[in-house]
Amino acid sequence: MAKQLKTIKSDFPILDQKVNDEPLVYLDNAATTQKPKAVVEALDHYYYTDNSNVHRGVHTLAERATEQFEAARQKIADFINAPAKKNILFTRGTTQGLNWIAASYGEANVHEGDEIVISYMEHHSNLVPWQQLALEKKAVLKYIKMNDDGTLDMADAKQQITDKTKIVSIAHVSNVLGVVNPIKELAAIAHEHGAIMVGDGAQSTPHMAVDVQDLDVDFYAFSGHKMLGPTGIGVLYGKTEILEAMAPIEFGGEMIDFVDLYQSSWKELPWKFEAGTPDISGAIGLGAAVDYLNEIGMDNIQQHEQDIVNYVLPKLLAIEDLEVYGPADPSKHTGVIAFNLKGLHPHDLATALDMEGVAVRAGHHCAQPLMKYLAVPATARASFYLYNDLQDADRLVDAILAAKEFFKHGSI
């Protein structure tokens, strides 16, 4: 690999700071990731030298902006092995992508009595759009159960997905349990029953090589900011024939072919879905993020994170009174690790870790049905990325032990 993982931290200036007088250990990557200099410089360069609107105007800056914007789309198509750049729609993020599918494909294809199948571990963004669609259409929303270790119960998946099922939508990687769901297998089951398969790639695309054609998903949504890119840009991949048949969700400039007083026609893919001026700088920034990730290699990133999990998960499991959610087997667990210290609310734990310079998330992680399923009000969550290392893992473990000690003995 061209870049050594051990020198990567220096590409992220934000990580070189003290928080509460302690060197920052950033472990909230499932929420959002930090940006390398290359991404911030790409934004700078675009705004300082090329800023212009895209797909219109004949002047040089407009041409440059359009060329870079569309080049970013191609990079992203290649990144997830989409057949072409017309399969890549720019969105605001995963949430918007999933909402678009529900609002357009769902609106046209789900009818009374039909089924939509999701799982108990879905993020609200892959749950509420389907729940609302089901309510509106009088369709049935069904949930696939989980095994005791937090992995998806595939025997139950085969029960839940039936000939009445129109849409199956599942997270590729859980944002709480850290498990990888067998999307390819689920897609095969969905297709056997004539349903489409939607993959929520928010927590997978940043951390592993994703091949949408191999997975055979019909749609796949992910967010730029969770993979080193800027906030406000995301991607919805769709199969060509489905996108071509699908009606646009928003109307306006950029997406029209010809407008008459009483009717209009749409541009071809992908532009018919992108009404209005898009997030040009966001797309270019995401393109730079993809370049950066490619330089390191997604397989290397996945291995690096697996090494950290192999190291830290047994250490966390060994802490008495620390409950760790998801599989205990590190090979089944990605770098998203949720946990609770017995007798202490995760919010209190997160504050203590913050005092030690360790940034983790505490809360329901936009997965309230999952919290209910686990019978906890909330959890703390550490999530690792390519710039984290074993020292960061040690800092997490030490901070949890210090917090445990602090709250055991009280203070003052």
Q: Which are the catalytic amino acids?
A: 366
Closest approach of other proteins to the CB of residue 349, in Å: 9
- The reply on whether position 58 binds other proteins by CB under 8 A is no
268 binds other proteins (CB under 8 A): no
Measured between alpha carbons, how far is 214 from 2 in angstroms, rounded to an integer? 27
Return the number of the residue (297 or 377) whose C-beta is nearest other proteins: 377
Q: What are phi and psi of 77, to 5 degrees?
A: -60, -45
Measured from the CB atom, the residue of 22 and 70 that comes closer to other proteins is 22
177 forms part of the interface with other proteins (CB under 8 A)? no
Pick between residue 273 and residue 339 the one whose CB is nearest to other proteins: 339
Stretch that binds other proteins, among 26-34, 209-217, 256-264, 398-406 (CB under 8 A): 398-406
- Element (H or E) spanning 133, and its range? helix 128-137
Does the protein bind other proteins through residue 248 (CB under 8 A)?
no
Q: Does 22 bind other proteins (CB under 8 A)?
A: yes
* Radius of gyration over every alpha carbon of the chain, rounded to an integer in angstroms: 22
Examine residue 378 and tell whether it contacts other proteins (CB under 8 A). Answer: yes
Selected from 266, 311, 373, 406, the binder of other proteins by CB under 8 A is 406
Nearest residue (CB) to other proteins, 7 versus 410: 410
CB 141 within 8 A of CB 118: yes
The residues facing 143 across adjacent strands are 118
- Confirm if 267 and 257 have CB atoms less than 8 A apart: yes
What is the maximum span of the chain, computed from C-alpha positions, in angstroms? 75
Q: Which of residues 320-359 bind other proteins (CB under 8 A)?
A: 344-348, 351-352, 354-356
Decide whether 112 or 410 has the Cβ nearer to other proteins. Answer: 410
Interface with other proteins: number of residues (CB under 8 A): 27
- For position 10 contacting other proteins by CB under 8 A, the verdict is no
Is the CB of 20 or the CB of 264 nearer to other proteins? 20
Nearer to other proteins, 232 or 363 (CB): 363
Tally of CB atoms within 10 A around 198? 31
Distance of closest approach, residue 230 Cβ to other proteins, in angstroms = 23
Least gap, CB of 258 to other proteins (angstroms):
45
| DSSP structure string for 4-64 | -GGGGGGG-GGGSSEETTEE-EE-BTTT-----HHHHHHHHHIIIII---SSS--SHHHHH
CB of 359 to other proteins, least distance (A): 11
Binding status of residue 176 toward other proteins by CB under 8 A: no
Residue with tokens 């509420």: 128
Member of 145, 368, 369, 373 binding other proteins (CB under 8 A): 368
43, 412 Cβ separation under 8 angstroms: no
Find where tokens 């019978």 sit.
375
Which of 7, 21, 163, 262 binds other proteins (CB under 8 A)? It is 21
234-258 core/surface letters (b: 16 or more CB in 10 A; e: else) = bbbbbbeeebeebebbeeeebbbee
Residue 220 and residue 80 in contact, taking contact as beta carbons nearer than 8 Å: yes
Contact 203, 222 (CB under 8 A): no
Q: Which stretch binds other proteins (CB under 8 A): 15-23, 33-41, 243-251, 325-333?
A: 15-23
Contacts with other proteins by CB under 8 A lie at 20-22, 344-348, 351-352, 354-356, 362-364, 368, 371, 377-378, 402-403, 406-407, 410-412
